[in-house]
Structure 1
């Protein structure tokens, strides 16, 4: 695989899009759980769901099965950009550094993963905002991808599409820094036992995903809450109030009002 090889970009993007369809109901429940319990937001102050399974069943019961897939198209659009750039950049950059600096090391893996994750997530942030908004609104929103984009742009301006970009990049860097090296580490350690087959890749991916999820949950909650808050343009020309003033403020308010389990 040469430095000009396009396969990591294409395969990474396709794999991300396929995985999105299978995991999206879980992602929707995650988003709903993350925004509930906000004492600074009366709309989401109530704890409606007791957990992932309870959330999924209540969404189906009260909003229909389609509500679990509200926001699927911005999610697929996100993966086609974020996943493509992340995987392609990671493997190409890693190959470049190995070629010029010797053998593969954990430091090289982490550096490549952080750069790939941060850059790709920042580029794809508008699709993430649309996904979160549509997931939160569910069947009550009932708007298309274009309608959601138009609403955000008209009410909040272009900056509304990059709301939460800082924690998004931080989260992506953290996940990439954990997931990709853990995946490579597990795969190499299991090579003698399982060989280079689907079992090895599955176990390595599962381990990497679990590690990334545990490490990124607090910043993920902050990211979701920042993306969901609306900074509405008022008819008089002013700007409506917002609940959080940034990543640190959201983190502090969440911890102060909800404690550790708020994350």
Structure 2
């Protein structure tokens, strides 16, 4: 490996953590909106929140401002692993292909992004499960810390519980990466004449990339969140029917709630992805220039 090979990994991890801190409350509202309204789960049969703003205000009023950051530590831990591997792998593999094969195209970028997104998300899945459980904890009346949440999942569901929803998680990450990273690179290159390699370019490119990734990934994200939030042991949710897997969750969600259920939480998803990508890419680009 060259003496510069480690830098995309470090920059990716640091920028991801900064972006996560800045946008986490929006992510919490997205998760709350996605798990409500499931007719097969008696605990979430009614709609408690009526949109992102209402969810934000209710959580702050009923559970305190601190609750808006429930699950922040597993989220940061996730970004430290997922972000590091995802962005580091994407830029490193792309650079290797460009260096040895002199081939840079949208198709190559998409393939590199899919590979990086799927691998990194699968590795970081346990932190994602803990984040979702902690975000939903206040809704169910019991906020817990990171270690207590880990113990609860491990005790009742074993190691397999930490990889619950890993299939849609990897699919979602692959879709987001396949749209977000190539679109950002494409926009950045084509805006170079107008803005140069400056913050304005990074801002516009990341904003455009976030819209595409939000539209493409939200349906998978809804399924992923629901799978991660359900229990393996049915007697923990008396009278509730649990999903048997990704396909079953897709089918039952569509049958019980209709197509638009797959876009529950879309607004906070997009509202979060926009600032997240802006913070991430600007931080990443500045780190590259700094070092």
TM range (shorter): over 0.9
| CA–CA separation in structure 1 for the residues paired with 2:9 and 2:196 | 25
Whether 1:243 aligns to 2:264 is no
Q: Report the Cα offset of residue 80 of structure 1.
A: 0.1
* Partner residue in 1 for 2:47: 47
* Partner residue in 1 for 2:148: 147
Contact 1:74/1:128 (CA < 8 Å) preserved in 2? yes
* Partner residue in 1 for 2:265: none
| CA–CA separation in structure 2 for the residues paired with 1:160 and 1:3 | 39
Within-5 A mapping of 1:2-17: 2=2, 5-17=5-17
* Partner residue in 1 for 2:84: 84
Q: Deviations over 1:165-209 (max 9, x none)?
A: 000000000000000000001101110001100111111111111
Unaligned 5+ residue runs, structure 2? 263-291
* Partner residue in 2 for 1:192: 193
Q: Report the Cα offset of residue 242 of structure 1.
A: 5.3
Within-5 A mapping of 1:117-196: 117-138=117-138, 140-196=141-197
When structure 1 is superposed on structure 2, of 100-109 and 178-187 the one drifting more is 100-109
| CA–CA separation in structure 2 for the residues paired with 1:43 and 1:26 | 23
Unaligned 5+ residue runs, structure 1? none
Whether 1:30 aligns to 2:45 is no
When the two chains are superposed, the root-mean-square deviation of aligned CA atoms in Å is 1.8
Contact 1:155/1:233 (CA < 8 Å) preserved in 2? no
Contact 1:110/1:178 (CA < 8 Å) preserved in 2? yes
The structure showing larger relative contact order (alpha-carbon pairs under 8 Å, at least 6 residues apart) is: 2
| CA–CA separation in structure 1 for the residues paired with 2:12 and 2:82 | 9
| CA–CA separation in structure 2 for the residues paired with 1:3 and 1:230 | 46
Q: Report the Cα offset of residue 234 of structure 1.
A: 6.7
Q: Report the Cα offset of residue 5 of structure 1.
A: 1.9
Q: Deviations over 1:59-118 (max 9, x none)?
A: 111111111100000000000000000000000001111223223100110000000000
**TM-score under structure 2 length normalisation:** 0.86
Q: Report the Cα offset of residue 142 of structure 1.
A: 2.2
Give every structure 1 segment of 4 or more consecutive aligned residues whose post-TM-superposition deviation is greater than 6 Å.
none
**TM-score under structure 1 length normalisation:** 0.95
| CA–CA separation in structure 1 for the residues paired with 2:51 and 2:2 | 46
